A and B are shown apart, each in its own frame.
Chain A
Amino acid sequence: MKFAFFPGCVSRGGCPELYPAAKKVCAQLGIELDELQDRGATCTGAGVLQEKNQFLGDVLNARTFAIAEGLGLPIMVICSTCQGVMSQANKRLKTDPNYLAKVNEQLSEEGLEYKGTASPRHLLWVLVEDIGIENLKTYVRRPLSGLRLAPFYGCYIVRPSEDLEFKLYRDREDSLEKVMEALGAEAVDFPGKTRCCGFPILTINEKNSVQMVANHTSSAKELGADALVTPCPLCHLNLDGYQPSAMKQTQQDINIPIIHLPQLVGLAMGFDPKELGLSRHIISTKKVLSKIQVAG
């Protein structure tokens, strides 16, 4: 199994623990990765660049898709935001041939052309759709039994569900819970699981953004979760990095760890927590590790 790998900016920026964890897990699963950024792929625009210029954002994503087409490989991402922004751009490009032609006109100077065959997918979906839940269980060396985990998807991997082809791929709706259970943990039914973490308005309205962090982390804790698990590094940045601010703003003790999806899979595979970057979180992961009898 081989993918054109698009790790996104945050997995090597604000969440540098994510990138190596994802690479280790993929290697263990026998997934070969061809790094798209080494071949010149750019940031997706994250929806922010699109606020200023959606056409430019679509051209950048079409360029990445064209590079992957050239390699003859499907694209894999490890960020909900990358997933959503790519899927939205791809839908516009695939449904309007005139628009695609206009975008390709911009790419032609570099000798690139997007033919419309890309279908970027998150590692989470690859685990469920390609590796398969039953097969994933065979990689578990350290079952996460006893752990109660609250899923936190991140907006862009669940909405708009039409762009993400949820009707075609029914398992996507509860993919995170399926993976957690395959690894031996218990998924906590959590009303905040598909809500916004607040990250996109962090610099614009910090109070509102931090309030969202407080609401989600405290409600997961009240439901008895040991940690939240997310496939989105932007959610991680806010839920982990701004949890101290959330505790201060709402004057409560929350302290619930936020774990990246690949870290969770890696833990169950038996990797050392340090290798997975679990000591590089703002909110300590030690309580979670001790619950599965691993030293942090």
Chain B
Amino acid sequence: MQVIVSVNRFDPEDSKGKYWQDYNLEIGENSTVLDALIKIREEIDGSLAMRCSCRSAICGSCAMRVNGHARLACNTKLVDMTDDAGMIKVEPMTNLPVIKDLVIDQQMFWDKIKQVSPWLQSEGPEPKGEYVASNESMNHLSGVMACIMCGACVSDCSALEVDKNFIGPAALAKAYRFVADPRDSKSVERLGVLNEYSGIWDCTRCYECVEVCPKGVGPMDRIMALREEAISVGYDNTIGARHADAFSDLVEDSGWLDELRLPIKTVGIFNLPALLNFAPVGLRALVKGKMPAIFHHNVPNVENVRKLFKRIRNNQNIDD
């Protein structure tokens, strides 16, 4: 089939900056995006820079953006991506600096992974044989251990786009892998660090990382599990934790969200600076008739909802 591969190119030694270059080529129906790029490099333009190795979605080298989203070029079929004109757009990953063409600088990615101390930290006397972990716990971890460090999640992360200090989805998924490992003795300490600024609470819950991960790691789901775990071990005084608490309490109380009380309950009724911070937005809303009702009504049979909350909480406390 005939395809047009439009590549976003960049050469630091060239004054042109970033530009798009189209390559027309004839290639087999079952070819991948990586097959096309290799064909371009070998037969049309030897100056095209990219990383690739295993061609089997194992090494994670060929992550790049295809039609605006990060993917592995080696497990993305051309026919699934071309538009009506037979064109696809290929760019380097975002949120990481570009070295040349499709090659990004991985330094920031690895720095963030290192930040979470990605190794087992056990305490107590060493066992005579190997450390033993239950099948159940290892099955649970197998999903997150499937990460191949390709960086696709980091590329498309919404929070990293506006704040490079955010530790990011790959490192947080890696952190979960150790927090949830029964052989690790530092879970509480790890959660303490992750609970700080630029950690678990800065994730926007946008699901970009879940969508683009080629291995089903579900980084955001792991971040949510870390939040739940952090609250349960007592890190419950961050604004994120208080927000979740306030939200839950308000739904328990009336069955639906009282939006007027949510921010007040989150920051605290006596936290004057934070409350004053809401004033301009609140005033603008008031002027436009957008304020939520002061008297918030309950949903019918709200007592059933309250009982449900109480029962589930009690049952879970017993399980713990």
A43 at interface by CB-CB < 8 Å: yes
Q: Which residue of B lies closest to A112 (CB)?
A: B304
C-alpha gap A272/B319 in the complex (Å)? 56
B208 x A196 contact (CB < 8 A)? yes
A155 x B245 contact (CB < 8 A)? no
Q: Which residue of A lies closest to B242 (CB)?
A: A203
C-alpha gap A246/B86 in the complex (Å)? 39
Given contacts A208-B163, A241-B281, A242-B281, whether A53 and B228 have CB atoms under 8 Å apart is yes
C-alpha gap A110/B292 in the complex (Å)? 30
B228 x A212 contact (CB < 8 A)? no
Smallest CB–CB gap between B154 and chain A, Å?
15
* Residues of chain A within 8 A of B207, CB atoms compared: 84, 155-156, 159-160
B308 x A63 contact (CB < 8 A)? yes
B248 at interface by CB-CB < 8 Å: yes
Residue of B159, B240, B281, B288 most packed against chain A (CB within 10 A):
B288
| Chain B interface, number of residues (Cβ within 8 angstroms) | 61
A287 at interface by CB-CB < 8 Å: no
Given contacts A14-B290, A106-B312, A282-B284, whether A52 and B248 have CB atoms under 8 Å apart is yes
Given contacts A204-B243, A212-B162, whether A16 and B228 have CB atoms under 8 Å apart is no
C-alpha gap A208/B308 in the complex (Å)? 36
Contact of A195 among B158, B227, B255, B281 (CB under 8 A): B158
A60 at interface by CB-CB < 8 Å: yes
C-alpha gap A242/B300 in the complex (Å)? 33
B22 at interface by CB-CB < 8 Å: no
Given contacts A14-B285, A52-B231, whether A160 and B68 have CB atoms under 8 Å apart is no
Q: Which of A20-28, A33-41, A261-269 contacts B (4 or more CB under 8 A)?
A: A33-41
Q: Which residue of B lies closest to A63 (CB)?
A: B308
Q: Mark A1-32, 1 if CB is under 8 A from B, else 0.
A: 00000000110111111000000000000000
A205 x B202 contact (CB < 8 A)? yes
A280 x B288 contact (CB < 8 A)? yes
C-alpha gap A171/B114 in the complex (Å)? 42
B15 at interface by CB-CB < 8 Å: no
* Residues of chain A within 8 A of B267, CB atoms compared: 203
* Residues of chain A within 8 A of B158, CB atoms compared: 195-196, 198, 212
A54 x B312 contact (CB < 8 A)? no
C-alpha gap A209/B204 in the complex (Å)? 9
B244 x A51 contact (CB < 8 A)? yes
B248 x A49 contact (CB < 8 A)? yes
A59 at interface by CB-CB < 8 Å: yes
Smallest CB–CB gap between B147 and chain A, Å?
17
B299 x A37 contact (CB < 8 A)? yes
A201 at interface by CB-CB < 8 Å: yes
* Residues of chain A within 8 A of B266, CB atoms compared: 203
A47 at interface by CB-CB < 8 Å: yes
Question: How many interface contacts (CB-CB < 8 Å) are there between A and B?
Answer: 185
A281 at interface by CB-CB < 8 Å: yes
B256 x A37 contact (CB < 8 A)? yes
Contact of B251 among A49, A191, A211 (CB under 8 A): A49
C-alpha gap A127/B296 in the complex (Å)? 32
* Residues of chain B within 8 A of A40, CB atoms compared: 255, 299-302, 304-305
A48 at interface by CB-CB < 8 Å: yes
Residue of A52, A156, A198 most packed against chain B (CB within 10 A):
A52
Q: Which residue of A lies closest to B298 (CB)?
A: A40
B140 at interface by CB-CB < 8 Å: no
B289 x A280 contact (CB < 8 A)? yes
A51 x B227 contact (CB < 8 A)? yes
* Residues of chain B within 8 A of A203, CB atoms compared: 239, 243, 263, 266-267
Smallest CB–CB gap between A76 and chain B, Å?
17
Q: Mark A155-180, 1 if CB is under 8 A from B, else 0.
A: 11001110000000000000000000
B41 at interface by CB-CB < 8 Å: no
C-alpha gap A279/B287 in the complex (Å)? 11
A56 at interface by CB-CB < 8 Å: yes
C-alpha gap A204/B195 in the complex (Å)? 12
C-alpha gap A212/B201 in the complex (Å)? 16
B85-129 residues with Cβ-Cβ distance < 8 A to A are none
A135 at interface by CB-CB < 8 Å: no
A45 at interface by CB-CB < 8 Å: yes
Residue of A38, A47, A196 most packed against chain B (CB within 10 A):
A196
C-alpha gap A37/B161 in the complex (Å)? 38
B205 x A280 contact (CB < 8 A)? no
A109 at interface by CB-CB < 8 Å: yes
Q: Which residue of A lies closest to B200 (CB)?
A: A51
Q: What are 15 A-B contacts defined by CB distance under 8 Å?
A: A9-B259, A14-B285, A16-B290, A40-B302, A40-B305, A42-B251, A43-B257, A53-B228, A53-B316, A155-B205, A195-B161, A211-B163, A241-B281, A281-B288, A282-B285
Known: A9-B257, A40-B305; 16 extra A-B contacts, CB below 8 A, are A17-B290, A40-B255, A42-B256, A43-B255, A43-B256, A51-B224, A59-B312, A106-B308, A109-B307, A110-B301, A110-B308, A159-B207, A159-B210, A160-B207, A208-B159, A280-B290
Chain B positions within 8 Å of A, measured between CB atoms, are: 68, 158-159, 161-163, 166, 201-208, 210-211, 224, 227-228, 231, 239-240, 243-245, 247-248, 251, 255-260, 263, 266-267, 277, 280-281, 284-285, 288-290, 292-293, 299-302, 304-305, 307-309, 311-313, 316
- The 3 A-B residue pairs whose C-beta atoms are closest, nearest first, are A196-B206, A159-B207, A13-B259
